[in-house]
């Protein structure tokens, strides 16, 4: 029987389940570069990363003795149909995609394009918790909170533990990791790479296709790692130059400092170039050897062992209807400055978008407290914003963005993921960033031409949803503050909000 293995472009690990199920002597491997994906207008840096990493992985598999075909085609369906026929493949093995829509699409293609070989799905081994294990943990719990899942993960994988207790006597050091940036704060330089010959071919191809498909972002300079050896170098650089300083200022935002002390490894873990448990164990071992402050070490491990696994688990636990969540009935359209990656007039938003345009990257607080905070306050339709996030970020996948945008950022799920909306005014951005310096808007103003849109929209958001949050244990205080605003000033706030770009014709977006 002739066996084929289709490696998807976020499964670039020789230990992934489909490859591990066979040997180079028994199976033939296929990878596909499908131009049809560009019709979704992904950020050009994201697509360069995906295709370049895929080509390097094909090269590595060939060096290990595998027979590998990399198909360049318009779409997956006909290309794979021809490949299956040409090589008389009797069984096509595929590791379960992390993204639910991808499996659905593959099954449809198999039927529509009459693939000659049946698909054998193998369980995804790129996460520490399988969907079934997470579902068992979730059980009949009334509330699913990351903190308790994270503690269970620490125990299960024996990470930062002192017997049955957490190392240092505490599970959580969050309060020590939220410092505002002092003047002149500057992080260590990140490790970047120059494109090799293989990446240069992909870069030139996508520069041509960028014009055809109007892809957002700048193709050059492209500096991401594209193979496992480089990704391991990035991890090592993080441990030796950035890990100790990661904790205190992980929530800080500084103009001209897009990476700060952040690890920059999420794209590589999500592509399969790094394995999550190997990263966690390496961080733990080396961090303790180097006497890294526990607040920094625990902070980064919390993101991997806690948040990454939790959101993936919830994505599958909540099911296929979760993306349609819209409890706050948000319907405002996507502002053009997001589509254009700039031009809002707000220094914070435009700084983040400019950095995003150049690299396809922004760190987690820029995403949560600038971009999705704006979406929450302005009432932007959840799936429009989620689709934008999925397209723009180099580490974005459906499983990542549905939970992070729909749940964490927009609270469109009504609290199934997070206990309260992460709503913040311009005062928060001023406290945690340097963006407000020189901005034409004033964070303390909530009406008039100089009023900060975040501050205006914050109070407009509270006014729109005051009945919902009046008895909410974590929001009631803000509703009481809202009630102290005079009727005249509140009307002025809402009139100012109605004048912003996303205002619907004939009605305020925030009414």
Domain ranges of the chain: 3-122, 131-190+242-317, 336-498
Helices 453-464 and 487-498 sit at what angle, rounded to 10 degrees? 110
- Beta pairing, strands 27-34 & 67-73: parallel
Task: List the chain pLDDT tens, one digit each, 511 residues.
Answer: 899 999 999 999 999 999 999 999 999 999 999 999 999 999 999 999 999 999 999 999 999 999 999 999 999 999 999 999 999 999 999 999 999 999 999 999 999 999 999 999 999 999 999 999 999 999 978 889 999 999 999 999 999 999 999 999 999 998 888 899 999 999 999 999 999 999 999 999 999 999 999 999 999 999 999 999 999 999 999 999 999 999 999 999 999 999 999 999 999 999 999 999 999 999 999 999 999 999 999 999 999 999 999 999 999 999 999 999 999 999 999 999 999 999 999 999 999 999 999 999 999 999 999 999 999 999 999 999 999 999 999 999 999 999 999 999 999 999 999 889 999 999 999 999 999 998 999 999 999 899 999 999 999 999 999 999 999 999 999 999 999 999 999 999 999 999 887 654 333 333 3
pLDDT of residue 142: 83
Residue count (the chain): 511
Expressed in angstroms, the distance from the first to the final Cα of the chain is: 64
DSSP 435: T
Instruction: Please write down the long-range contacts of 433-436, taking CB distance under 8 Å and 24 or more positions apart.
Output: 433/181, 433/252, 433/253, 433/254, 433/255, 433/348, 434/181, 434/253, 434/254, 434/255, 435/253, 435/255, 435/347, 435/348, 435/351, 436/347, 436/348
pLDDT of residue 502: 62
Those residues with Cβ within 8 angstroms of residue 319's Cβ, 6 or more apart along the chain or in another chain: none
pLDDT of residue 504: 42
DSSP letters, 66-120, are -EEEEEEES-HHHHHHHHHHHTT-SEEEEEPPSSHHHHHHHHHHHHHTT-SS-EE
- Beta pairing, strands 27-34 & 91-95: unpaired
- Beta pairing, strands 161-162 & 165-166: antiparallel
d(C-alpha 7, C-alpha 19), whole Å: 8
Q: What is the pLDDT of residues 305-339, one digit of tens each?
A: 999 999 999 999 999 999 999 999 999 999 999 99
By CB atoms closer than 10 A (0-12, 13-18, 19+), residue 29 is buried
336-498 CATH, one of 3.40.50.12780, 1.10.287.470, 1.10.579.10, 3.40.50.1820? 1.10.579.10
Closest CA to 232 of 436, 13, 51: 13
Closest CA to 491 of 511, 466, 469, 505: 511
- Beta pairing, strands 67-73 & 161-162: unpaired
Closest CA to 338 of 351, 353, 328: 353
Those residues with Cβ within 8 angstroms of residue 14's Cβ, 6 or more apart along the chain or in another chain: 60, 61, 64
CA–chain centroid gap for 391, Å, is 10
CATH topology of domain 131-190+242-317: 1.25.40
Longest dimension (CA), the chain: 78
Closest CA to 417 of 147, 113, 226: 147
DSSP 333: P
CATH topology of domain 3-122: Rossmann fold (3.40.50)
By CB atoms closer than 10 A (0-12, 13-18, 19+), residue 503 is middle
Cβ 396 vs Cβ 389: under 8 Å: yes
3-state percent helix, strand, coil for the chain, nearest multiple of 5: 50, 10, 40
By CB atoms closer than 10 A (0-12, 13-18, 19+), residue 245 is middle
Those residues with Cβ within 8 angstroms of residue 322's Cβ, 6 or more apart along the chain or in another chain: 315, 402, 406, 413
d(C-alpha 327, C-alpha 322), whole Å: 11
For residue 161, the cross-strand partners are: 166
Cβ 389 vs Cβ 401: under 8 Å: yes
């Amino acid at each position: 029987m002739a066996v084929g293995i289709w490696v998807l472009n976020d499964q670039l690990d020789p230990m992934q389940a489909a490859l591990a199920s066979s040997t180079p002597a028994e199976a033939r491997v296929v990878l596909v570069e499908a131009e049809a994906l560009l019709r979704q207008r992904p950020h050009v840096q994201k697509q360069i990363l995906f295709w370049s990493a895929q080509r390097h992985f094909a090269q590595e598999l060939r060096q290990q003795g595998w027979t590998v075909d990399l198909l360049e085609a318009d779409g997956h369906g006909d290309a794979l149909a021809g490949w299956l026929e040409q090589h008389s493949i009797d069984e096509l093995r595929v590791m379960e995609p992390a993204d639910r829509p991808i499996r659905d699409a593959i099954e449809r293609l198999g039927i529509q394009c009459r693939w000659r070989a049946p698909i054998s799905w193998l369980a995804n081994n790129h996460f520490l918790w399988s969907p079934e294990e997470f579902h068992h943990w979730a059980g009949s719990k009334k509330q699913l909170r990351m903190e308790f899942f994270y503690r269970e993960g620490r125990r299960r994988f024996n990470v930062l533990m002192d017997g049955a207790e957490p190392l240092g006597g505490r599970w959580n050091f969050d309060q020590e990791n939220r410092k505002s940036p002092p003047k002149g704060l500057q992080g260590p330089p990140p490790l970047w790479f120059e494109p090799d010959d293989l990446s240069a071919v992909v870069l030139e191809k996508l520069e041509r296709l960028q014009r055809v498909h109007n892809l957002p972002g700048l193709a050059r300079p492209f500096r991401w790692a594209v193979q496992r050896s480089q990704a391991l170098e990035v991890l090592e650089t993080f441990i030796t130059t950035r890990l100790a300083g990661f904790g205190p200022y992980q929530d800080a935002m500084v103009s001209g400092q897009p990476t700060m002390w952040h690890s920059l490894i999420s794209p590589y873990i999500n592509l399969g170039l790094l394995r999550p448990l190997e990263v966690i164990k390496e961080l733990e071992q080396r961090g303790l050897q180097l006497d890294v402050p526990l607040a920094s070490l625990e902070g980064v491990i919390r993101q991997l062992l806690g948040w990454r696994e939790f959101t993936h688990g919830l994505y599958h636990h909540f099911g296929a209807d979760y993306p349609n969540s819209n409890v706050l009935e948000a319907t405002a359209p996507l502002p053009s400055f997001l589509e254009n990656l700039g031009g809002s007039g707000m220094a914070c938003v435009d700084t983040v978008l400019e950095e995003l345009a150049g690299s396809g990257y922004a760190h987690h607080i820029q995403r949560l407290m600038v971009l999705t905070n704006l979406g929450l306050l302005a009432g932007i339709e959840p799936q429009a914003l989620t689709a934008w996030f999925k397209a723009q970020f180099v580490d974005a996948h459906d499983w990542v963005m549905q939970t992070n945008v729909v749940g964490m950022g927009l609270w469109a799920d009504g609290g199934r993921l997070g206990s309260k909306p992460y709503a913040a005014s311009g005062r928060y951005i001023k406290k945690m960033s340097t963006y407000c310096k020189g901005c034409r808007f004033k964070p303390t103003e909530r009406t008039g031409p100089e009023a900060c849109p975040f501050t205006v929209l914050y109070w407009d958001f509270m006014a729109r949803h005051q009945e919902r949050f009046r008895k909410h244990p974590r929001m009631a205080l803000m509703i009481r503050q809202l009630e102290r605003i005079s009727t005249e000033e509140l009307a002025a706030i809402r009139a100012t909000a109605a004048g912003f770009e996303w205002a619907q014709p004939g009605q305020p977006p925030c009414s």
